Structure 1
Amino acid sequence: MSAKRNFFTFLLCLLSCVFILSACSNASPSDSETKASKKQEQKQENKYEKLAEEKNKEFELEPIKLTSYSEEIGATFKKPEYKKFAVNGKIMVEGEIEKHSLLKFHYAWIKVHSDEEGPAGNKHEYYTPIKDGKFKQEIHFFNGEGEYRITVQLPSTDRENYYYDTAKFEVYNVNPGIQRDITYTPFGQDAELALNLDSSFVEEDGIFQLKGKAGSLRDEDTIMLRLNKDSETWKHVIPVKNGGFSYDIPLFYGEGVHKLEVLVPDKERDNYYQTATTVLIDNKSNRTMKPIEYSKTYMERGVTLEYPLFGGEESEGTFNIKGSIDPKAEFAPETTHIYITSKKGEDEALDVIPVKDFQFDDSFYLRFGPGTYEVTVSVPEIKEKNSDYFRYFGFAQFEVESKALNDERDLLPSRGVQSDAPQIEELAKELTNGKSTDREKSKAIYDYVAQNISYDVGKYKNDEFEWDDSALKTLELKTGVCQDYAYLAIALLRASNIEARFIEGMARGGFWPARHAWVEANIDGSWVTMDPTWGAGYLKDNQFVAKFTETYFDPNMEEFKKTHTRTGVSY
């Protein structure tokens, strides 16, 4: 027993040692890798420091010469010391101005030019604040290894926003690393602008996510974006919220460098912007995109369109719209919905998307089958009086490419026609139960609508039309005007898989013609007319008299045209 115990004790110790060793071995590689990485970085740094030292031996290292203007304002330079010299990736420009109180502007303007054009261009500039007569700026080199010419200009004593050359020097950078510093103009610095970037030269793949802060801007302020590539230019305005901003910027113009200017409001001029900073974005995607066209209504009504970001996107037959309304914008609380107009050739449809808690996020049908659609997104006119029409103002326009296989314009749900709603589907099934033909089904739907919906005389006389008038609303209220009869009949027909469409026209029931709406249904390949409003009864002494008649289901068209004039189809 003792021998066995000793053996197991030895084995347990051995396993413990293995465990301890393995635990230590798991920790050691990461530590050693970190040390190795730091050692390699230090080695590289030392390599370029030595290269700079060797390169400086080739130069005469003459002292830097200042211009006569430096003597006029008492400017001296602590750094750099030489007219031409070599460095490892960065330099410091530092100086002091004795007569700084005489300056009309309080920034030093430092311009850096590369002798060769690179991915990040061949020039960059810095506006360095002058505080108590002193200025100090670290500069990195945006094209990596090569020769650079640097000019330091200081502000005039007698002219605002005017500069004089003070010092010029040449630098040879031995380090191949590319770093384009983020720099801000005086306007950007006054706005306390700060982008969430490490460099102002970045690589992206189709979309650039801009994020930043503007500490001195208010929520009612906006920032303008200006994107350029070759001869193409795109402009857009985005809001500032809680001192910050963000926007996903499509790199519209395909592969290559896009120049993005971020502009802030000019405090001296209304509706005018000044460049705050510039970012160069090297787009690796060869995809080109179509910019969205925005109108002034976009800003006036405080809209932010979050999706889509660009036009020309493809869809399988539906398309989503997402965005928000600034609660502080004019008419924001009253903007309860937005309108979507989708146009393909001569065909046009109007859809409504609700706005809840100042947000909208919903889809609409591209109902006319495959092809290119022009989509306009609009906000409604906020009316003081009732009316039987709706005005709306477009704030964004773009194209969408539909890849839908079929044109199902007369079967799909549409504005006011919720044929996919459970209540509608259930009622349609009940009404058509036991009916074998589309004609029988259509007649049953006509009979139900004409017999169960009363005409709302007050709504017609008082122009009490609302944007959310619909089949569901009519079914709930059991009353309405001609459009409401048509909405409900069409919804029930489409829910029964019968093509149906909303017909606009004029009707003559008295001395003057009036706007009217009725229905056409595709029965056995032929479009059949039905007018459930006139089939429900008539008006006498401004009162509705319920008197059902079958006359207006598939009526004699010669007689029908004596009282009805068809002007078109509405979607």
Structure 2
Amino acid sequence: MKTKLMSMVLSLFVAALTACSADQDASNQPEKEKKDKYTALAEEANKDEKLEKLELLPYAEEVEASLSSPKYKEFTTNSSVLVKGKAKKYSGFTSDYVWIKVRSEEEGPNGREFSYYAPIKDGKFEQRVQLFNGKGNYSVKVSVPSDKAEDYFYDIVEFAVENVNPEVKRDVALTKNALKHGLVLKNSINGYMEIDGFFELAGEVEDTSVEQLMVELKKESESTKIMIPVEKGKFSKKIPLYYGEGVHEVQIMTPKEGMTDFYSEAANLYVKNLSSESYEPIKYSSAYKEKGFNLETPEVGGEKTDLTYTIKGSIKPSGKDANKTDVVFVQTKKDNQKAMYAIPVKNNEFEGEFFLRFGPGKYEVSLMAPDFTLTNGYVQHFVGVAGFTVENTNAKDQRFTLPSRGIQSDAPVIKKLADQLTKNKKTEKEKALAVYEYVAKNVSYDVEKLNNRTFEFDDSALKTLDEKKGVCQDFAYLAIALLRASGLETQMVTGYAGQNHAWVETKVDGRWLTMDPTWGSGYLQNNKFVPKFTMEYFDPKPSEFQKTHTKKEIEF
């Protein structure tokens, strides 16, 4: 019985096909001369050697396989070699590809091994094999599929080749998953590239069920994952080379069939970063994919900014709760101090600025989406979808003066009203009183909202000003927005006053003045609001106020 050389597929790769220009203009002459130089070197080396004809291995005879290229067992070439052949008895093959394994004698920037899958058409196969580490010696094995078991291949030939060209060229390696899903990368993407800082990863996926790709970026012991949305079969993403100067391995993965949140390798390439600058990766949660988020800005974490920072992205209409998500939130954290900001969503897109209000230094930033599953009336829940860091270079601590979630103190209508209320007011206390009186006299307590717990994610000062009604949080939102717009440092106090409650503290003449415009507006009787303005809850005596109000937290 004839001996069979059998190999089991552990990792199946096929090179991306690339087109070569045949232009003969003057600008291409240096490249042409270089190619001619190394071709001449290879031809000269082959003349000096006694070339032995290629010998096929026993299994080649069983399937009546033959190779028309190459012709020799050992030879020299310029950069690449053409593998071309056929197998007459191919109808029983369990795969439609020939496996070509290339091994470099020396370790290089692209490792030591590379594999191709060459398609079999009517028993014929052809593949241009790139000698991926430049100048040096390589061994090449060609294997055809088993006729009995999937993912088994039998060697039909092995040859050795020396590359005289020192230039490092590598094809993009595609696995069987890439072929299955129809993954094709943009022609400008090669298996080995030298780039300064960032590169664009773009291409197409024929499989319409693929909505997202995962990219794993690795350099030595460091790695991170990046999610790339696929829209109408196309994808494009600017990829940061996070880990500074040196070679980064890039693995592109497609979803694993029948398994949620699992991915399998589809393509592999190497990118040498010429820049010494490093970046912090952005971290993504499982909700990022589930809710269909695509974060466009920022592209990296760890950037520096002066007080404000922009966030931009989109939400797939097919994402979970996308039709209900009309606002997303940004939470900033520094030294255990937190602040939140609301960013409106329009036509499934969001873009807005947020503030780094706690002075200079590094902030942890979380992009958050409303969690409609857990949220109930009194308590609103959020789910984090992405996280990154930002460094604020602004020296000022402006925690009590800047806008924040629900407190749009920079809105034109708020600023105009604040100017009207405080006009001709000479002292800070007079300004604070003008705001207290306006809110307490013009906003009605919303008993229905309290009873039905119809708290919304878009509750805010602007909404309260428009509707002229709300609960304690809404009274506080509007009062704080007007006070900050008037130039007064102000904070929200949350605590307990018979039930969960919110009120206001504003700084006047160097001290914190307390006001509760909700209690100052009237009272509840028989489950109805009775408007009755009172000054009792503007700058009350602390000892008296503490009898009814228990302070728990400060919010900004």
TM over 0.5: yes
CA deviation after TM superposition for structure 1 residue 137, in Å = 0.5
- Structure 2 distance, partners of 1:447, 1:496, is 15
Q: Alignment partner for residue 182 of structure 2, among 171, 180, 192?
A: 192
SS of residue in 2 equivalent to 1:562 = coil
Give the 3-state SS of the residue equivalent to 1:178 in structure 2: coil
Of the candidates 503, 514, 517, which is equivalent to residue 518 of structure 1?
Answer: 503
Displacement, 1:39?
5.3
- Whole-Å Cα distance in 2 between the matches of residues 463 and 141 of structure 1? 68
Contact 2:280 2:300 in 1 (8 A): yes
1:250 Cα deviation after fit: 1.4
Do residues 536 (structure 1) and 521 (structure 2) align? yes
1:374 CA drift (Å): 1.2
Deviations 1:234-256, CA, capped at 9 Å, x for gaps:
12332221111111111111111
CA contact (8 A) 2:197 2:274 kept: yes
Partner residue, 1:485 = 475
Partner of 1:210: 201
Question: Which residue does the alignment assign to 2:14?
Answer: none
CA displacement at 1:416 relative to structure 2: 1.4
Aligned to 1:104: 94
Structure 2 Cα separation of the partners of residues 45 and 255 of structure 1: 29
1:414 to 385, 404, 408: 404
Aligned residue type for 1:200:
G
Which string of whole-angstrom CA distances, capped at 9 and with x for unpartnered residues, describes residues 504-531 of structure 1?
0111xxxxx2111110011111111111
**1:143 positional shift:** 2.5
Cα contact 2:316–2:348 (8 A) shared by 1: yes
Query: How far is the alpha carbon of 1:381 from its aligned partner?
Result: 1.8
The CA deviation at 1:362 is 0.8
CA contact (8 A) 1:218 1:243 kept: yes
CA separation in 2, counterparts of 1:353 and 1:521?
Answer: 26
Q: Give the match for residue 290 of structure 2.
A: 300
Tell me the CA shift for residue 463 of structure 1. 1.4
Conserved 8 A contact 2:375-2:381: no
Note if contact 1:218-1:240 (Cα within 8 Å) is conserved in structure 2: no
Runs of 4+ in structure 1 over 6 Å off: none
What is the rounded CA distance, in whole Å, between the counterparts of 1:296 and 1:290 in structure 2? 19
Q: Give the letter aligned to residue 515 of structure 1.
A: N
Matches of 1:465 and 1:269 in 2, distance apart? 37
Contact in 2 for aligned 1:262/1:276 (Cα 8 Å): yes
Confirm or deny: 8 A CA contact 1:219 1:239 kept in the other structure. no
Flag the structure with higher helix content.
Answer: 1
Amino acid at match of 1:58: D
Higher relative contact order at CA 8 Å, sep ≥6: structure 1 or structure 2? 2
2:6 paired residue number: none
Deviating more after overlay: 226-235 vs 263-272:
263-272
Structure number with greater Rg is 1
Change (3 A) 1:404 1:115: same
What corresponds to 1:377 in structure 2? 367
Alignment-derived partner of residue 218 in structure 2: 228
| Residue number in structure 2 paired with 1:75 | 65
Cα shift at 1:301: 0.8
Task: Report the AA paired with residue 114 of structure 1.
Answer: S
- Write the letter of the residue equivalent to 2:555: S
Counterpart code for 2:220: D
Paired with 2:367 and 2:28, the residues of 1 have a C-alpha distance of 55
CA distance in structure 1 between the partners assigned to 2:327 and 2:463 by the alignment:
17
- Deviations along 1:71-117, one digit per CA (max 9) or x if unpaired, are 23222111111001112232210111122122222211112222233
| Paired position in structure 1 for 2:229 | 239
Distance 1:268 1:101 in 2: 30
Q: 2:414 aligns with which of 424, 434, 453?
A: 424
- Once the 2 structures are TM-superposed, how far is the Cα of residue 179 of structure 1 from its aligned partner? 2.1
> Any residues of structure 2 matched to 1:31-180 within 5 Å, and which?
36-37=26-27, 40-180=30-170
Q: Aligned with 2:406: secondary structure? A: coil
Aligned partner (choices 327, 334, 338) of residue 317 of structure 2: 327
Number of equivalenced pairs: 533
Distance in structure 1 (CA, Å) of the matches to 2:64 and 2:90: 8
Write the letter of the residue equivalent to 2:110: A
Residues in 2 aligned to 1:38 and 1:492: alpha-carbon distance in whole angstroms:
68
Q: Give me the TM-score of the superposition, normalised by structure 2.
A: 0.92
Q: In 1, Cα distance between the equivalents of 2:100 and 2:527?
A: 81
* Amino acid aligned to 2:532: K
Mapped partners of 1:268, 1:442: distance in 2? 61
Q: Is residue 314 from structure 1 mapped to residue 314 from structure 2 by the alignment?
A: no
Partner of residue 4, structure 1: none
Distance 1:538 1:307 in 2: 47
Partner residue, 2:542? 557
Structure 1 residue runs without a partner (length 5+): 1-32, 508-512
* Structure 2, unaligned runs of 5 or more: 1-22
CA gap of 1:76–1:411, structure 2 versus 1, over 3 A, is same
